[in-house]
Structure 1
Amino acid sequence: MSNFFSLEIGKRSVLMHQTALSITGHNIANANTPGYTRQVADIVTTPPWHAPSLVQSGKPGQLGTGVEIAAVNRVRDEFIDTQIRHENKAEGYWAAMQNTLAKIEVILNEPTEDGLRGVMDMFWESWQDLSLHPESEAVRAVVVQRGMSLAEAFNHTHRQLVELREDVNAQVKVKVNEVNSIAMQIADLNKQILAVTISGKRPNDLLDKRDLLIDDLSRIADVKVFTDKNNMVTLQLGDRVLVEGKDYNRLGVNTDQEMYMVIWEDTQTRAKISSGELRGLLDARGRSSNPQEANPSEYKEIIPNMIADLNSLAKTIITKTNDIHRSGYSLNNNDNSNYLYPDGRNFFNQPVDINDSVDWAKFMSLNDEIINDLKNIAVAARPTWGKDPLGNLIKANFGDGGVALDIAQLKHYLNDSEWRIDSSPITDLAVTSFSFDIDGVTIIVDNTVTPPDPAPIQNMYDLAVALQEQIDGTALKGKIMVRSNGNQLTFYSNSNSFTLDTGTAVQISGKINQVTTDDYWRSVCADIGVLSQESQRVLKNQEVLLNELENKRQSISGVSLDEEMTNMIRFQHAYNAAARFITSIDEAMEVVINRMGLVGR
């Protein structure tokens, strides 16, 4: 056995431990690098000398030839990676939702005196004051100012919600660009990884970069990851491939609509986004007007529904205030042509086309005739008239302020209460007859219907007396609007009677539901608050879960400086020992070469 054989073993040991020290140094250098995976050397013995053979001389055993590093491996758990990416998309979704909901809560600013409900309360209070002092110009001025403040509050809230929706829409485009950027980088890394892999090497750092990009992408959108034998990944987004090898498909947004729709650039078809930040933004923003978007929307429509609720409240306040105000008498009602009739006009400007598509909150404003002349505020429900010495009719007083009181009571307005009373059929025809007073005017309704047809009763409000209805023979169903002032409604059927207090919801073969403007807005704000609270809870749970998974991944893949220092000392001692071994062999060879054959000289 040649001494050079031993030198080769020593050399291999030195080189191996030197490489191991380099790997340790690489780990220490990247201890704080995001996405870096700890690398370890796969240390194996080199093939022994010589392999057993029938044509070779027998030896007592194989001779070891040293050591080498077979591969440099990443310490990575793919199952944990899959779990993290799965939870990433949920965390991204709820983070986007919570961010939007938090902004909506700031816009609504409820419950505070500066919120919309506080402004509404002051508006109703001003009408209450005006009902007590209908002749006061100062109180009328307060009503106008409170009305203008209410209109501006609705305008401002609507404007902020629209701007928030536009901001979220802009974020959709930003996230689409991020997806394209990440997809392009992953495709480029796939190309580099393939070149290294087919050469028989391990592209560890390139794999780390790609895995980090996939983690980032999984937070934005729901992607499925498939890896082949050459370490190439294929990413699937929805029902299409986003990245395949060195190629990728780009996402885009259509720019011909006000709200962006996420599409595939090559086919111009809608991209299916079911989770992640991008889906959270789409749920908050709502659908676009593109026909490819599902109708009814598959999104949660957070901001559009909020705007619709705001418009619904504004519409109710505008139309009901105007309806009552037009029935009143103003201080200018002294023209001989109309002094016997109500001369009230719209208090708020009202569109001609009354439908749900109108942005009532956006365009809410006071009638210029009211702003320019406070006398045009129609406060009186029924002025008292007299005659002058010449026998002409004159207004004796300003009235009882009943219209102002009615408007003030809109705060307790009951919207579309539903009632139903069942009775056993007695005759072939059922006669429905009843009467009631509204503002001193007696209304008589007399309907004859054939069972089981319903007797149509139109919506009413502000009942001055109890409503009595005698029904013989059929079940009648209709809608009735009344004030939530605690008055009782008494329904009679033959000899039996049922007394209902409208201050609470009561059911007699049906229901009476009350929704006041105050209750309605409180309910809208409460719904947003509950959804925001729920998103905070889910987001917090997701963050805890992700932190737990990340800690588990770091315990496996992360760099421990203490462990690396231990390895460094271990490899350093082994390196020194290998170097010492080479020195020993060198000294032995020096004896053989320089000292042998000198005996007797």
Structure 2
Amino acid sequence: MEVKIYTHGSCKIREAGSKNMSGLFDTFTIAKRGLNVNQGAINTTSHNIANANTEGYSRQRAVAETTKPFGGMSRFDTCSVGQVGTGAEITSIQRIRDYFIDYQVRSETGTSGFYTQASETLYKVEDILGEPSDKGIQQLTNNFFNAFQEVSKNGNKANVKTVAIQSAASLADAINYAYNQLEKTRDDSQKLLQTNVIDVNSYLNQINELNKQIKGISAVGQVPNDLMDKRDLLVDKLSNKFGIKLDRDSFETINLSSTEYPNASLVKSDPNDINYNRLSYVKGAKVESDGGAFKLTVEYYPLGNEQAAVKSFTVKGTNKSDLDEIKDSMLQNRILLADKDGNAMTETVATKATSTTPGRSIVEIPALADGSHTVDTKVTEDGAIAITIGSSTISRDKDGVITNSTSYSVTNNSDGTMYIKLNSDLTIKVEKDGSIAVPAESFTADISTNAQAKLSLKKAIFQTYKYDSDRDSEGNTVNSVDNKNVKGDIAANQSVQDNIKEYMDNLDRLAAGLAYSVNAIQTGSIKGTDASGNVITSQGLSGNLIFVTYDESTQKNKSIDDGITAKNIRINKDLITDPQKLNCSTTSTSGEGDALRAKAIANLNILKMNLSSVANTEDLSTWDREKFLKQIGINTTSTASGFTDSTCLSLNTGTDGSTVDSYYKTMVNNIGVIKQESDRIAANQETILANLQEQKSEVSGVSLDEEMTNLIQFQHAYQANAKIISTVNELLDVVINGLKR
């Protein structure tokens, strides 16, 4: 292009309409940048292909943007026709992830985990009962009644009696075996909860560590894609245990809690905040008498670690039912919310009340030694808070002034909460309202005088399968479980114990109803024993019972049936040794042809008993024959004996209730219905989850076909940029060397 230059003084003025373009070195730079962009894209593609089968990996994409153009900064810029491109650069390596799909997958994973685990356990329960079967309880019950029907037809023949006694023994063994297997299945579910605790704590610790690394890398402007993939995979696995509540924070960090206990912080975005929760496992709990009152002692493994020293805490109370309620909850749920070291915590041990010492709130711990310490509370409505520990006193005035000592350190938070760390590693938390919180292994709380203590203990139990509506003074409930959408196999292992306990209770009622009614006919009395412990009989009959109670302490059969249950029901071995001791006749003086008592036992198969009237909460091992038979409908009002006849062959019962056979059938059918429902929902959830996983794979998964296509595209682009560099090289040779010729 022709350019005319006019000179005026020291200025050179370009003629209007003239143009200026970037030079060959600019072109060279653009091509070099193109090489770098496509090299980065090829590296990213290679990384995707290498991790095509890596669990939890999300495909990545090199994001390229144009670099800052040259020229065209102003309409008066006469050095260019406008902005001239300067190439491209990779601004980030983007992780392809859809957070909403992640949320859906985790939500459905929790639901699927609950029903899958419940279905597996219920399958074991169904298999234990083994119905219908030739060796099941239902068939053995029929065999038992049929055997006594044969005795009634054949008088007092020893061989027929032997068959009847053997059928009774088989039935007792079957009931006992089924109960013990159900008990073992329940214990297995509780043992699985310990495994859950260990797994959850491991996941949380790994997530917490990854959170720290991710924050450090993000803070310097880098994107830790692979670390975030690892963290998301752990969160996915965690969602199979319970409901996940995840909040994203700055620098790609997350805050993590459970939907069931949203106030319990499991992972915090701030790496310096060590006030987070972990889980511990309850080893055992028992209620004992304590000087006219009662005490509950709970032992637990910190963080579920059996190798660590067992810790414990004690709760006192005058109401045994309150303590039993907490004990049962501890043994079923088995998981405690704890601090980072596994110490189970309470939220409130002392609350405000009137004191004889105005202006002071005192909590006395007698010594700093390890063990259980008694917490005494004397609190007022105003004034300073003082904590007496041995001979030392820590006090805080209303203006925030703290008296310190070399035996402890004090941290005063801005919200008014004070943390006191003792040399014995016992931390006492003084809330701004004056309430006190201490580690659970280091205190004795009295729930009969402190209403909040019971609630605090309930809050410490990680119960994820059932909503607890009890509220504290601020209106907060114990947990936030949605009963219509229970999540995780922790909840399944906790809730299925309710089902198992119901079946065990049903077997207890079945065993007691069968044994007591048979023994009542056998002895001619609904009463078990007299004050001296002797078996009560009538009609001159012997006191040889058919079913007796097994004594766990002596590991021997008793000669009575008091407290008989499915766990301790046994056949009277005296009858096995001598079948002629079986009472078959109406009275002791009846002839050998009289077998009406055996027929009366056989007729019990049509006797209706209201077994369901015995509550599941009842401990049948403390009951006796008379109490049980009256409870299930045996009428002693119209006939004091409880029989309709003077020879005590027909129990005086009404038309309510069900026979032993129909009661057991109903129990088995209920198990089948619940099992089928769990199977159905588990199958539906599997389908839903599979569809969501497919959607997730479409977004985040690596497609080898797509990556190979991209690789060819980037390869060609790389080659094209290399060709440009080669061309520029030739042109520069022309400019530099060609002009000489």
What is the TM-score when the length of structure 1 is the normalising length?
0.76
Residue pairs, 1:332-411, within 5 angstroms = 341-343=540-542, 345-350=544-549, 358=563, 360-382=565-587, 397-411=591-605
Change (3 A) 1:524 1:340: closer
Residue pairs, 1:440-589, within 5 angstroms = 457=638, 481=653, 512-589=655-732
8 Å CA contact 1:416, 1:459 repeated in 2: no
1:230 and 1:240 map into 2 onto residues whose CA distance is 22
8 Å CA contact 2:548, 2:564 repeated in 1: no
Paired position in structure 2 for 1:270: 461
The one of 269, 272, 277 equivalent to 1:249 is 277
**Unpaired segments of 5 or more residues in structure 1?**
286-300, 329-337, 386-394, 419-453, 466-478, 483-511
Paired position in structure 2 for 1:509: none
**Deviation of the 1:344 alpha carbon:** 5.0
**Deviation of the 1:342 alpha carbon:** 2.9
Residue pairs, 1:31-50, within 5 angstroms = 31-50=52-71
**Deviation of the 1:369 alpha carbon:** 2.6
2:192 and 2:636 map into 1 onto residues whose CA distance is 54
Paired position in structure 2 for 1:475: none
**Deviation of the 1:524 alpha carbon:** 0.6
8 Å CA contact 1:344, 1:378 repeated in 2: no
Superposition CA RMSD, Å: 2.7
Give the AA of the match of 1:552. Answer: Q
The one of 484, 500, 524 equivalent to 1:303 is 500
Is 2:145 the counterpart of 1:130? no
8 Å CA contact 1:85, 1:215 repeated in 2: yes
2:199 and 2:58 map into 1 onto residues whose CA distance is 24
1:551 and 1:113 map into 2 onto residues whose CA distance is 46
Paired position in structure 1 for 2:607: 413
The one of 40, 58, 62 equivalent to 2:83 is 62
Paired position in structure 2 for 1:261: 334
Q: Secondary structure at the match of 1:49?
A: coil
8 Å CA contact 1:40, 1:72 repeated in 2: yes
**Deviation of the 1:205 alpha carbon:** 0.9
Q: Secondary structure at the match of 1:256?
A: strand
Q: Secondary structure at the match of 1:380?
A: coil
Change (3 A) 1:158 1:513: same
Give the AA of the match of 1:271. Answer: F
8 Å CA contact 1:460, 1:481 repeated in 2: no
8 Å CA contact 1:382, 1:399 repeated in 2: no
2:585 and 2:637 map into 1 onto residues whose CA distance is 31
Is 2:226 the counterpart of 1:205? yes
2:33 and 2:638 map into 1 onto residues whose CA distance is 101
1:550 and 1:404 map into 2 onto residues whose CA distance is 65
Higher mean C-alpha displacement, 70-79 vs 518-527: 70-79
2:136 and 2:30 map into 1 onto residues whose CA distance is 83
Is 2:740 the counterpart of 1:597? yes
**Deviation of the 1:354 alpha carbon:** 7.4
2:183 and 2:78 map into 1 onto residues whose CA distance is 91
8 Å CA contact 2:516, 2:561 repeated in 1: no
8 Å CA contact 2:62, 2:93 repeated in 1: yes
8 Å CA contact 2:140, 2:171 repeated in 1: yes
**Deviation of the 1:134 alpha carbon:** 2.1
Identity in percent: 33
**Deviation of the 1:233 alpha carbon:** 0.6
Give the AA of the match of 1:481. Answer: T
2:668 and 2:542 map into 1 onto residues whose CA distance is 37
8 Å CA contact 2:63, 2:90 repeated in 1: yes
1:594 and 1:359 map into 2 onto residues whose CA distance is 112
1:303 and 1:179 map into 2 onto residues whose CA distance is 25
8 Å CA contact 1:327, 1:344 repeated in 2: no
Give the AA of the match of 1:180. Answer: N
2:640 and 2:713 map into 1 onto residues whose CA distance is 90
Is 2:505 the counterpart of 1:314? no
Paired position in structure 2 for 1:15: 36
Paired position in structure 1 for 2:103: 82
**Deviation of the 1:216 alpha carbon:** 0.8
Q: Secondary structure at the match of 1:230?
A: helix
Paired position in structure 2 for 1:217: 238
Is 2:118 the counterpart of 1:118? no
1:203 and 1:210 map into 2 onto residues whose CA distance is 11
Give the AA of the match of 2:722. Answer: A
**Deviation of the 1:256 alpha carbon:** 3.1
**Deviation of the 1:2 alpha carbon:** 3.3
Change (3 A) 1:23 1:224: same
Paired position in structure 2 for 1:297: none
**Deviation of the 1:416 alpha carbon:** 3.8
8 Å CA contact 1:130, 1:136 repeated in 2: yes
| CA deviation profile, 1:467-491 (whole Å, cap 9, x unmatched) | xxxxxxxxxxxx9615xxxxxxxxx
Q: Secondary structure at the match of 2:239?
A: helix
Change (3 A) 1:188 1:359: farther
Q: Secondary structure at the match of 1:219?
A: coil
**Deviation of the 1:158 alpha carbon:** 1.5
Q: Secondary structure at the match of 1:349?
A: strand
Larger Cα Rg: Structure 1 or Structure 2?
1
Give the AA of the match of 2:335. Answer: V
Give the AA of the match of 2:116. Answer: A
**Deviation of the 1:349 alpha carbon:** 1.1
8 Å CA contact 2:115, 2:681 repeated in 1: yes
Give the AA of the match of 1:125. Answer: N
Give the AA of the match of 1:254. Answer: V
Change (3 A) 1:324 1:573: same
Give the AA of the match of 1:262. Answer: I
The one of 477, 493, 498 equivalent to 1:281 is 493
Change (3 A) 1:408 1:264: same
What is the TM-score when the length of structure 2 is the normalising length?
0.62
**Unpaired segments of 5 or more residues in structure 2?**
1-21, 287-330, 340-344, 346-439, 441-459, 466-486, 526-536, 550-557, 613-634
**Deviation of the 1:592 alpha carbon:** 2.1
| CA deviation profile, 1:96-141 (whole Å, cap 9, x unmatched) | 1111100001100011111111111111111111011122111111
Give the AA of the match of 2:660. Answer: T
1:227 and 1:284 map into 2 onto residues whose CA distance is 34
1:108 and 1:417 map into 2 onto residues whose CA distance is 19
2:734 and 2:740 map into 1 onto residues whose CA distance is 10
Paired position in structure 2 for 1:324: 521
1:69 and 1:513 map into 2 onto residues whose CA distance is 82
**Deviation of the 1:459 alpha carbon:** 9.1
Change (3 A) 1:514 1:256: closer
Q: Secondary structure at the match of 2:247?
A: strand
Change (3 A) 1:25 1:347: same
**Deviation of the 1:196 alpha carbon:** 1.4
8 Å CA contact 1:416, 1:481 repeated in 2: no
